[in-house]
Amino acid sequence: PFDVLIIGGGPAGASAAIYSARKGIRTGIVAERFGGQVMDTMAIENFISVKETDGPKLVTALEEHVKSYDVDIMNLQRASGLVPANGNGLTEVQLESGAILKAKSVIISTGARWREINVPGETEYRGRGVAYCPHCDGPLFKGRSVAVIGGGNSGVEAAIDLAGIVKDVTLIEFNGELRADAVLQKKLFSLPNVTVITGAQTTEINGDGEKVNGLTYTNRQTGESHRVDLAAVFIQIGLVPNTDWIKDSVALSKFGEIEVDAKGQTSVDGVFAAGDVTTVPFKQIIIAMGEGSKAALGAFEHLIRH
Ligand code: FAD
């Protein structure tokens, strides 16, 4: 059996693998796609100590770092279930291939994915004006006009955040009113460079073939179509944690995130979790790495006490 078995090969999983392997314990990592969300990222400018990089470059560096240690990497493998230890102290992880792996401790770092709006232009212009993370991509549009789609807490927070950086922000909400907390709405409506459009269904993200140059929406009351000129569209309609495969085994929050304590311990003894898949606030690469190393140290502490 493994001493530590990590499920997920994004920044959280890679960091957990390195911290575990450095303890000289038997470490394995199962990943559907090594690199995770970072593979889909163009410019990264907030990975502290590296002024500028891109996703594939950072993933190559992560992989090289993990491979410099004795880590059993099982790439292109999907975990489908987890059976908590019963008496023998070994947690079982089932893979879609039918294989069953056993481990004295498990770290879940299966990440999350942004919910998409599925309109023409979204896929074509991803990373070229279609963005999901205001902390990451906001500064790229300094002085330009942008839109935020989604009037929940994350959309309204994004609009407030972006309003301080860009020229102006148009917030588009599908329903007749915003769902964000009152305090956020109050702040939003106090900003001079924000326009809020409710009851609006986005029908297309427009571009010039190279990058985004506008957004088209339908006024759901009148049925009329309108176009707004802008340089970027931030889609903020939810982040979905990849916890379907684990939902019957560990405690999840109402958003489907794995609940963890300060050491990354989940509701199941010997099972830890880290990164975007957990309740940790703020989903970022550097945070996922910190959380991955914390969970690895938590798992190690668990091992030496059992
Ligand atoms: P993930 O990166 O989501 O990795 C999850 C891993 O688990 C993957 O290997 C996946 O294949 C695997 N997996 C999932 N389910 C299973 C399963 N059932 N079995 C086995 N493996 C599984 N953050 C920044 O700090 N700066 C940025 O500039 C930035 N830009 C971004 C741009 C985009 C387009 C996106 C989508 C995100 C961006 N982020 C950025 C956020 C950042 O990528 C995430 O916070 C970070 O990758 C989270 O790391 P993680 O390891 O928790 O999860």
The H or E element that residue 14 is part of is helix 11-21
DSSP output for 281-304: SS--HHHHHHHHHHHHHHHHHHHH
Q: What is the pLDDT of residue 306?
A: 87
Could you tell me if 298 and 286 are in contact, meaning their C-beta atoms sit under 8 angstroms apart?
A: no
Q: What is the dihedral of CA 138, 139, 143, 149, to 10 degrees?
A: 0
What ipTM score was computed for the predicted complex, to two decimals? 0.99
Q: Hey, which of 74, 96, 110, 246 would you mutate to test ligand 1's pocket, going by the most ligand atoms within 8 Å of its Cβ? A: 110
Count of CB atoms situated within 10 Å of the CB of 45:
13
95-148 pLDDT, tens digit each: 999 999 999 999 999 999 999 999 999 999 999 999 999 999 999 999 999 999
pLDDT at 80 over 90: yes
Q: For ligand 1, atom 40, name the residue with the nearest CA.
A: 284
**Ligand 1 centroid vs 270 CA: distance in angstroms?**
23
Percent of the chain with pLDDT over 90: 97
268-305 pLDDT, tens digit each: 999 999 999 999 999 999 999 999 999 999 999 999 99
| Prediction pTM value | 0.93
163-219 pLDDT, tens digit each: 999 999 999 999 999 999 999 999 999 999 999 999 999 999 999 999 999 999 999
Q: What is the pLDDT of residue 43?
A: 87
Q: What is the dihedral of CA 52, 75, 116, 180, to 10 degrees?
A: -70
pLDDT at 42 over 90: no
pLDDT at 57 over 90: yes
Q: Hey, which of 5, 32, 33, 37 would you mutate to test ligand 1's pocket, going by the most ligand atoms within 8 Å of its Cβ? A: 37
Quote the DSSP letter at residue 277: G
Q: What is the pLDDT of residue 40?
A: 86
Mean pLDDT of 222-243: 97
Quote the DSSP letter at residue 259: P
**Ligand 1 centroid vs 9 CA: distance in angstroms?**
8
**Ligand 1 centroid vs 215 CA: distance in angstroms?**
27
Average pLDDT across the chain, whole number: 97
- Maximum CA pair distance of the chain? 66
